[in-house]
Amino acid sequence: MLDRITGNTRAAELLATVFDFDLDRADHLEPVRPSWDGELRPIAGDASGGTFFACGGPVLYASSEGRAGVLAADPTAALQLIIGVPTWHDVVAEAPDPDAMRAAYEATHAELLEHEPDLDRHQAEVSTALGLDRVPIDELPARLRTAHTDLSPRYRLLNDEGDEYEPL
């Protein structure tokens, strides 16, 4: 999936500017290590200083404020979430309550559309360019909730001192 992004300048540009998933920001602010045996590879970052990590399947996000959690079971699902719910930060903050997550999505999505009126077109363009199926909006928060509640406890991020990042 990452090869598809790097091979498509327009998709990479949209992901960085509209969806805040920038392959050029993959350096995390501090040294970190996984609590599990396996991969922890930075793949992208966002404007707030957070980092997206590949974990040999799941994709974990670590904020610059010391919070971390799994966003999706795999890179394709992570990109579908990031594209489909660009305000996922606000939505995951309400997990695991599905009604609160939906309300957070609706409120933040409406606000985002004020600043990014071409969002629907950009979502379609980047999804098509990367060969991603568009997932219905009702399914994306449910996927995020499952990753957050089922996968995050197994994938804990540690700082240099061995302290665990707080859950997202």
Q: Is residue 38 a part of any domain in this protein?
A: yes
How far is residue 20 CA from its own chain's centroid?
9
Q: Is residue 168 a part of any domain in this protein?
A: no
Q: Is residue 25 a part of any domain in this protein?
A: yes
In this prediction, residues 60-82 reach a mean pLDDT of 96
Q: What is the pLDDT of residue 167?
A: 93
Q: Is residue 114 a part of any domain in this protein?
A: yes
pLDDT at residue 73 greater than cutoff 80:
yes
Q: In angstroms, rounded to a whole number, what is the distance separating the alpha carbons of residues 89 and 94? A: 9
pLDDT at residue 2 greater than cutoff 90:
no
Q: In angstroms, rounded to a whole number, what is the distance separating the alpha carbons of residues 89 and 93? A: 6
Q: In angstroms, rounded to a whole number, what is the distance separating the alpha carbons of residues 160 and 149? A: 25
Q: Which domain, by its residues, includes 135?
A: 2-163
pLDDT at residue 3 greater than cutoff 90:
no
Q: In whole numbers, what is the pLDDT of the chain averaged over residues?
A: 94
The count of structural domains within the chain is 1
Q: Is residue 121 a part of any domain in this protein?
A: yes
Q: Is residue 61 a part of any domain in this protein?
A: yes
Q: What is the pLDDT of residue 153?
A: 92
Q: What is the pLDDT of residue 166?
A: 95
Residue type, 126: V
Q: Is residue 155 a part of any domain in this protein?
A: yes
pLDDT at residue 39 greater than cutoff 80:
yes
pLDDT at residue 1 greater than cutoff 80:
no
Beta bridge mates, 34? 157
pLDDT at residue 68 greater than cutoff 90:
yes
Q: Is residue 70 a part of any domain in this protein?
A: yes
Q: In angstroms, rounded to a whole number, what is the distance separating the alpha carbons of residues 19 and 36? A: 29
Q: What is the pLDDT of residue 111?
A: 93
Q: Residue 144 in contact with residue 97, Cβ under 8 Å?
A: no
Q: Residue 155 in contact with residue 60, Cβ under 8 Å?
A: yes
